[in-house]
Amino acid sequence: MQITRQSEYAIRTMLELAQAPAGELLSAKYISERQDIPEDFLKKTVKLLAMADLVITQRGNNGGVRLAKPAEEITLADIVAAVEGPIILNQCLSPGYSCPNQPTCPVSRNLARAQEALLNELRRESLADMLKN
Protein backbone atom coordinates (compact mmCIF):
# COMPACT_ATOMS: atom_id res chain seq x y z
CA MET A 1 0.00 0.00 0.00
CA GLN A 2 1.27 3.44 -0.89
CA ILE A 3 -0.18 6.85 -0.13
CA THR A 4 -0.96 8.50 -3.47
CA ARG A 5 0.25 11.91 -4.53
CA GLN A 6 -3.31 13.20 -4.14
CA SER A 7 -3.34 12.07 -0.49
CA GLU A 8 0.01 13.79 0.03
CA TYR A 9 -1.38 16.98 -1.49
CA ALA A 10 -4.47 16.69 0.69
CA ILE A 11 -2.33 16.33 3.82
CA ARG A 12 -0.19 19.33 2.87
CA THR A 13 -3.32 21.36 2.11
CA MET A 14 -4.88 20.48 5.45
CA LEU A 15 -1.69 21.37 7.32
CA GLU A 16 -1.61 24.73 5.51
CA LEU A 17 -5.25 25.37 6.47
CA ALA A 18 -4.57 24.33 10.07
CA GLN A 19 -1.92 27.05 10.33
CA ALA A 20 -4.34 29.77 9.25
CA PRO A 21 -6.20 31.73 11.93
CA ALA A 22 -9.54 30.08 12.81
CA GLY A 23 -12.18 30.80 10.20
CA GLU A 24 -9.81 32.46 7.74
CA LEU A 25 -10.34 31.50 4.11
CA LEU A 26 -7.28 30.68 2.02
CA SER A 27 -7.46 30.86 -1.75
CA ALA A 28 -6.59 27.86 -3.88
CA LYS A 29 -3.95 29.99 -5.56
CA TYR A 30 -2.34 30.81 -2.21
CA ILE A 31 -2.30 27.16 -1.09
CA SER A 32 -1.06 26.06 -4.51
CA GLU A 33 1.87 28.47 -4.41
CA ARG A 34 2.79 27.81 -0.77
CA GLN A 35 2.64 24.02 -1.11
CA ASP A 36 3.83 23.72 -4.73
CA ILE A 37 0.66 21.87 -5.77
CA PRO A 38 -0.75 22.35 -9.28
CA GLU A 39 -3.84 24.53 -8.80
CA ASP A 40 -6.16 22.38 -10.95
CA PHE A 41 -5.14 19.27 -9.04
CA LEU A 42 -5.58 21.13 -5.75
CA LYS A 43 -9.15 22.06 -6.68
CA LYS A 44 -10.01 18.40 -7.27
CA THR A 45 -8.42 17.47 -3.97
CA VAL A 46 -10.29 20.21 -2.09
CA LYS A 47 -13.54 18.93 -3.58
CA LEU A 48 -12.89 15.48 -2.07
CA LEU A 49 -12.03 17.05 1.28
CA ALA A 50 -15.23 19.09 1.17
CA MET A 51 -17.31 15.99 0.35
CA ALA A 52 -15.82 14.38 3.49
CA ASP A 53 -16.78 17.46 5.56
CA LEU A 54 -13.16 18.25 6.36
CA VAL A 55 -13.14 21.65 4.66
CA ILE A 56 -15.65 24.32 3.76
CA THR A 57 -15.37 26.17 0.48
CA GLN A 58 -16.75 29.58 -0.37
CA ARG A 59 -16.97 30.95 -3.88
CA GLY A 60 -16.55 34.53 -4.99
CA ASN A 61 -14.01 37.32 -4.79
CA ASN A 62 -13.46 36.79 -1.08
CA GLY A 63 -13.84 33.03 -1.34
CA GLY A 64 -11.51 30.27 -0.43
CA VAL A 65 -11.14 27.21 1.74
CA ARG A 66 -11.05 26.70 5.50
CA LEU A 67 -11.17 23.78 7.89
CA ALA A 68 -14.68 22.54 8.65
CA LYS A 69 -13.74 21.62 12.21
CA PRO A 70 -10.86 22.32 14.58
CA ALA A 71 -7.43 20.97 13.64
CA GLU A 72 -7.49 19.03 16.93
CA GLU A 73 -10.29 16.87 15.51
CA ILE A 74 -8.71 15.94 12.15
CA THR A 75 -6.22 13.09 11.71
CA LEU A 76 -4.24 11.63 8.86
CA ALA A 77 -6.73 8.75 8.79
CA ASP A 78 -9.55 11.23 8.09
CA ILE A 79 -7.63 12.88 5.27
CA VAL A 80 -6.44 9.69 3.57
CA ALA A 81 -9.91 8.15 3.78
CA ALA A 82 -11.41 11.31 2.24
CA VAL A 83 -9.16 10.96 -0.80
CA GLU A 84 -8.63 7.20 -1.10
CA GLY A 85 -11.81 5.82 0.42
CA PRO A 86 -11.89 3.36 3.32
CA ILE A 87 -8.43 2.31 4.46
CA ILE A 88 -8.27 -1.45 4.02
CA LEU A 89 -5.27 -3.66 3.35
CA ASN A 90 -7.23 -6.36 1.57
CA GLN A 91 -10.76 -6.74 0.27
CA CYS A 92 -11.38 -9.52 2.78
CA LEU A 93 -11.25 -6.90 5.54
CA SER A 94 -13.98 -4.74 4.01
CA PRO A 95 -17.11 -4.44 6.13
CA GLY A 96 -19.76 -6.83 4.86
CA TYR A 97 -17.40 -8.72 2.55
CA SER A 98 -18.06 -12.43 2.61
CA CYS A 99 -14.92 -14.41 1.86
CA PRO A 100 -15.33 -18.12 1.17
CA ASN A 101 -11.82 -18.74 2.57
CA GLN A 102 -12.39 -16.90 5.84
CA PRO A 103 -13.01 -19.96 8.05
CA THR A 104 -9.66 -21.51 7.12
CA CYS A 105 -7.60 -18.48 6.08
CA PRO A 106 -4.30 -18.27 7.98
CA VAL A 107 -3.62 -14.73 6.74
CA SER A 108 -6.84 -12.84 7.49
CA ARG A 109 -6.27 -12.28 11.21
CA ASN A 110 -2.69 -11.09 10.57
CA LEU A 111 -3.87 -8.62 7.96
CA ALA A 112 -6.61 -7.45 10.33
CA ARG A 113 -4.02 -6.75 13.05
CA ALA A 114 -1.78 -4.92 10.55
CA GLN A 115 -4.72 -2.84 9.32
CA GLU A 116 -5.73 -1.94 12.87
CA ALA A 117 -2.14 -0.94 13.70
CA LEU A 118 -2.00 1.26 10.59
CA LEU A 119 -5.31 2.93 11.42
CA ASN A 120 -4.28 3.47 15.04
CA GLU A 121 -1.06 5.14 13.91
CA LEU A 122 -2.86 7.36 11.39
CA ARG A 123 -5.32 8.36 14.13
CA ARG A 124 -2.64 8.93 16.79
CA GLU A 125 -2.07 12.65 16.19
CA SER A 126 -4.29 15.44 15.01
CA LEU A 127 -3.24 18.16 12.57
CA ALA A 128 -2.75 20.42 15.59
CA ASP A 129 -0.46 17.84 17.23
CA MET A 130 1.61 17.54 14.05
CA LEU A 131 2.07 21.29 13.85
CA LYS A 132 3.24 21.45 17.48
CA ASN A 133 6.00 18.94 16.81
The DSSP-derived string for 63-104 is -EEEESS-GGG-BHHHHHHHHH-S--SSGGGSTT---TTGGG
**Residues 86-116: tens digit of each pLDDT:** 888 888 888 888 888 877 888 888 888 999 9
- Stated as kind and residue range, the H or E segment containing 33 is helix 28-35
Residue of higher predicted confidence among 62 and 78: 78
pTM exceeds 0.85, yes or no: yes
Q: Answer whether residue 57 shows pLDDT above 70.
A: yes
Which pLDDT band, with edges at 50, 70 and 90, does 128 fall under?
very high
Domain range annotation of the chain:
5-132
In whole angstroms, give the CA distance from residue 123 to residue 102. Answer: 28
Residue 117, amino acid: A
Q: What is the CATH number of domain 5-132?
A: 1.10.10.10
Which pLDDT band, with edges at 50, 70 and 90, does 1 fall under?
low
In whole angstroms, give the CA distance from residue 125 to residue 18. Answer: 13
Residue 122, pLDDT score: 95
Residue 43, pLDDT score: 93
Residue 53, pLDDT score: 97
Return phi, psi of residue 126, to 5°.
Answer: -85, 170
Work out the mean pLDDT of the chain and round it to a whole number: 91
Q: Answer whether residue 3 shows pLDDT above 90.
A: no
